[in-house]
Structure 1
Amino acid sequence: MRRLLKIIGWLLAFPVVVILLLLSPVAYVETACHADPEPDSYKPLISEPEFRRPEANTYLTYPEWHIVYAYDGLAETLKTGDEYGFDYISSVRDFWAADCALTRIADRHGGADSQTRMMIATIGVSFTLEMGLKAAYEETVGRALALWRGSEKTPQDIVAREMAIDYAAFLRQTPWYKYPFQPWIDRLWAASMEEAMRGWERRLALGGEWRTKIAYAGMIAGAVAATGEAKLTIRSVISGLPANTLSVIPDVSVISDGADGVLIETPRYDRFTHILAEITRAGGTIREIAGNDEIMVSLIVPSGSVQNDLPGEVITRLARAGFASDRLLLSVDMADLSLLLRDRQIADPGLEHIFDF
């Protein structure tokens, strides 16, 4: 009887320990990763409140992008290897390390509201749980059956690789919960069975994972519908180019032309980075974005390389999971952004992303 009670006690304690472990990085960030606000005398050119965004948002958008980059790394790993070769734990560790550094600099620029902090904590815990479960499975059962299979991938492995590449590309512009998982489940089951053990294991493991994501995506989509989706466009002020030149750039809408420059509206996310690069290549200068004079960018640099004479402030440096390179997060003045875009192409290595607000 005593032994039975002990087993029951351990079973009850296990989920409590898991929850505490998942919440511990949130507690650390919220208690140890803050800074005092700095005075800001900048007078924005975009004065309408509905088109301005808090400057802290440029730093606070990164945690979502870290998850995008993790899937980039997994897709890169699957081009030549298997799921167990991806460093899930380092990806989780770097999520929270970046969140800590970015919370501090965001505080200096006005800080985050409670809703934003809750959102980051929620996606961080979800990401930690997902990566932890994938690591536990892929580095044990997944590894064993991949080794049993040998070096030649099964048709199911190839579907998994193609899905990972497609999913990573999709996430750069569209929320994950809009991804069409079901066609990939159908492809997984339609693929011929050439090696039974690995083939069935991939069907069941990946099919189960993707079905779980379909269910979770439905919940997220419902919550977003109730609260409203994030605004998908952003306004910027550009000088050095006439309005008619800007208007022919794809996805650029000219709003007005004044003494301070041309006010434009563009899509956000990955497309935004490419539009700004095209504007600067044509000779334009970015004066302001969403009422702000500072913004965060990421650079891809060779692993361990020394980077001198960088503009702005290096916030943190992270190894890119799945790649032999590092990611630098920089906070730069708007005056330096155009110069940076002219000096560094969007490439690997080179400029990776401009984090809008």
Structure 2
Amino acid sequence: MRRLVLLSLLLVSLLAVSGPITPDANRRNEEQTFLTYPEWFLVHSPAEYARYAAADRPLSDFPFWGHIRQLWASYARVTEATASYPLNTGYHVMILVIASSSTVEYGLRLAYERTLGRLGEWLRGPAPTVEERYAARVAQDYVNFIRVLPWYEYDFAQAMHGLWQLPAGGDSLFRKWERRYALSSEYLVKAGYGWLIKQATQASYGKELLTTLVVLDQPAAPDAQLPDVHLLQTLPDGRQLLSLPRYEAFRSHAEALAQQGANFHEIAGNPPHAKLLLTILAPANWQPGSGKDQLLFEQPLLTEPTRKRVALVTRVGQLGERLRQLHKQPVELEHIYDY
């Protein structure tokens, strides 16, 4: 009888060790690594636009429609990649809402920039107006913000206020006032639509977690540049349960930990064999090679023809080694889609 009890306790112990270490509240489903891509494309696209605007290139030539094609094509591809998982209805509905609204927004902006906007460009002098420089700064500030927090939290009302504090006179008066009209319309609509989306999102899902829990195979070395890494538990076998920031900061933290030699055993409760999507920005002629990663798709950067976006599927347990390999190559890690 005593042996039976001991065997039962040993079995329970083994099962506990083999199961996920991450608490239930911090686990996220594996298919979300794919389904978060369309959300993040709507960060990558504004980032490309911000770089384009900062260079004072003609906004009437920005490929709004090309970005919409890339958005829907990538959604189709990640939908195929998640066909074997249980249907995540809520996430698909959310993607359809944001993709449809972005299609409408980009369509309207394309129509405007190719008509009245192009006229303003043609009548403008050689230097950008203060409104154009301001719009480029706001575009970059917006990108910096949505890499960390949801877009609907951005203060478009403050952006509008700042626009109308600019000097009203000066050269290129038609372009100045055309830009004021275009930017005021954009900020006003986004402020109202963002407020509605925020109410609907919080009513349906509550506030999003801003952290991702990971399990590393070895202790993480202290790093003054990573103050947001928090040790939650050290396991008997030396592995550590850590809290990392989610979204954009997860990329830089994962890279730093990988360079320390760490490997991941869990990310948001997903085990070593779980799939994990990442994207890199690479030279147009770069090829991923014959490693263990799966090439999901490629997208040219439409305003930077010498570079492309490459979406690769790796595994949680291979992430550390893959990041160390990419660090040695002429590529830029764009994002890790951490569920």
- For 1:135, which of 110, 132, 139 is the aligned residue? 110
The correspondence of residues 44-55 of structure 1 with structure 2, limited to 5 A, is 44-46=19-21, 48-55=23-30
Paired with 1:241 and 1:90, the residues of 2 have a C-alpha distance of: 45
- Secondary structure of the equivalent of 1:107? coil
C-alpha displacement of 1:310: 4.3
Runs of 4+ with deviation above 6 angstroms: none
| Contact 1:273 1:354 survives alignment (8 Å) | yes
Paired with 1:262 and 1:47, the residues of 2 have a C-alpha distance of: 11
* Greater share of helix: 1
Cα distance change of structure 1 residues 117 and 89 upon mapping to structure 2, 3 Å threshold: same
Q: Which amino acid aligns with 1:183?
A: Q
Paired with 1:336 and 1:51, the residues of 2 have a C-alpha distance of: 21
Cα distance change of structure 1 residues 123 and 348 upon mapping to structure 2, 3 Å threshold: farther
* TM score, norm. by length of structure 1: 0.82
| Contact 2:215 2:266 survives alignment (8 Å) | yes
Cα distance change of structure 1 residues 298 and 156 upon mapping to structure 2, 3 Å threshold: same
C-alpha displacement of 1:48: 3.6
Paired with 1:347 and 1:179, the residues of 2 have a C-alpha distance of: 35
- For 1:104, which of 60, 80, 88 is the aligned residue? 80
Residues 1:305 and 2:286 aligned together:
yes
Aligned to 2:201: 224
Aligned to 1:279: 257
Aligned to 2:313: 331
| Contact 1:159 1:184 survives alignment (8 Å) | no
Mind listing any 5+ residue stretches in structure 1 that lack a counterpart? 1-42
The correspondence of residues 41-120 of structure 1 with structure 2, limited to 5 A, is 44-46=19-21, 48-80=23-55, 81-108=57-84, 110-120=85-95
- Secondary structure of the equivalent of 1:190? coil
Q: Which amino acid aligns with 1:254?
A: L
| Contact 1:247 1:253 survives alignment (8 Å) | no
Mind listing any 5+ residue stretches in structure 2 that lack a counterpart? 1-17
C-alpha displacement of 1:346: 11
Aligned to 2:140: 165
Aligned to 2:166: 191
Aligned to 2:299: 318
Cα distance change of structure 1 residues 187 and 304 upon mapping to structure 2, 3 Å threshold: same
C-alpha displacement of 1:247: 9.9
| Contact 1:234 1:268 survives alignment (8 Å) | yes
Paired with 1:68 and 1:346, the residues of 2 have a C-alpha distance of: 26
Q: Which amino acid aligns with 2:159?
A: W
Q: Which amino acid aligns with 1:160?
A: A
Deviating more after overlay: 124-133 vs 292-301: 292-301
C-alpha RMSD of matched pairs (Å): 2.1
C-alpha displacement of 1:291: 2.1
Residues 322-356 of structure 1: per-residue CA shift (max 9 Å, x gap): 33311111110123211121122499832111001
Percentage identity across paired residues of the two chains:
29
Paired with 2:313 and 2:145, the residues of 1 have a C-alpha distance of: 26
Paired with 1:257 and 1:152, the residues of 2 have a C-alpha distance of: 59
* TM score, norm. by length of structure 2: 0.86
Aligned to 2:322: 340
